[in-house]
Amino acid sequence: MKRVSSVVAALAATVAAGVLATSTVQPTASAATAAPAPKAASFTVSSFNVLGSTHTPAGGSRAVGTTRIVWANQLLNQHHVDVAGFQEMQTDQLTKLLSITNGAWAFYPGLTKVRRDTENSIGWRTDRFQLVSATTVNIPYFDGHPRAMPLVLLRHKASGALAYFMNFHNPADTAQFPNQGHWRSEATRVEIALSNQLVSSGIPRFLTGDMNERAPYFCRVTKETPLKAARGGYWRNGVCYANKPRAVDWLFGSQRLAFSNYLEDRSPLAARTTDHPVIVSDVQVTPAAFPKAYATQAPATVVPRVSW
């Protein structure tokens, strides 16, 4: 068994001044100092396995990865996606996406010097969100080999609301790597532990990813964390009702988040772009549900200690 220790670093980086805008009026007989009420944050989140370039070499039945990433950008625009957890986005695809979006998107780890895994990144529209802090977390992948996957804290520019986003890709059973169930289970345990350690911050949490499991992943996560799936599903009298998920791709969030307009896009454009549906949902974060998300004080440091 390997030991993962202190892999989430510096998540208490100082939140930039102005997370919550304030205005001060000089006191008079009829006016007093006041701060405007915080606003709700509304945006769209996606989980998007773009199908890595190495899966579609030139001359095959599918277009090459750099062609398909152009279509992926069309899907992001079509669904007005603001934040996305990407899986299998290889270096050539991300390089192409950055070139055609011309600064409209930022990514972590992306192509930064700190990257450990080019395939799993979180992306956000730079006119809607600002990065506060970011790190990676080791998740067991094929045969337990660790892959670093992202965790970011973003600030919604219009409202000042903070939110955590986690993105994962758990190992599938393949001809080359069969019988990966144990490592999927271990990966899920790490993901659950990380999510639970963020609860005390009071900041909303989002979990996206290709989990390579359907109902079992839903049932375990919703039993062991205070998360809900954007697509629905529930527990009643100790029985899990996952509502027969067709996809292995997931979007979860904190219980008090308001999800709406959930979609699993299997349109012809999505089918040409990838072998997964594109998961999309609108969401709203309100000050009443998440008052700590609007605080100017930096969140506490998160240092998960998970062994696998």
**pTM of the full structure:** 0.88
Domain count, the chain: 1
Which has more confidence, 130 or 118?
A: 130
Can you give the CATH number for the domain in which 231 is found? 3.60.10.10
Any domain includes 203: yes
Q: For residue 186, is it within any domain?
A: yes
On whether residue 22 sits in a domain, the answer given is no
pLDDT of residue 300 exceeding 60, the answer is: no
Our separate counts of H helices and E strands in the chain read 5, 16
- Residues 184-227: pLDDT tens digits? 999 999 999 999 999 999 999 999 999 999 999 999 999 999 99
Over residues 123-151, mean pLDDT: 94
Mean per-residue pLDDT over the chain, rounded = 88
Query: pLDDT exceeding 90 applies to what percent of the chain?
Result: 80
Residue 4 is assigned to a structural domain of this protein:
no
**pLDDT per position as a tens digit, 7-32:** 444 444 333 333 323 333 344 444 45
Terminal-to-terminal C-alpha distance of the chain? 5
Q: What is the pLDDT of residues 44-99, one digit of tens each?
A: 999 999 999 999 999 999 999 999 999 999 999 999 999 999 999 999 999 999 99
CA distance 213 to 206: 18
Per the structure, the complete domain to which residue 270 belongs is given by 39-307
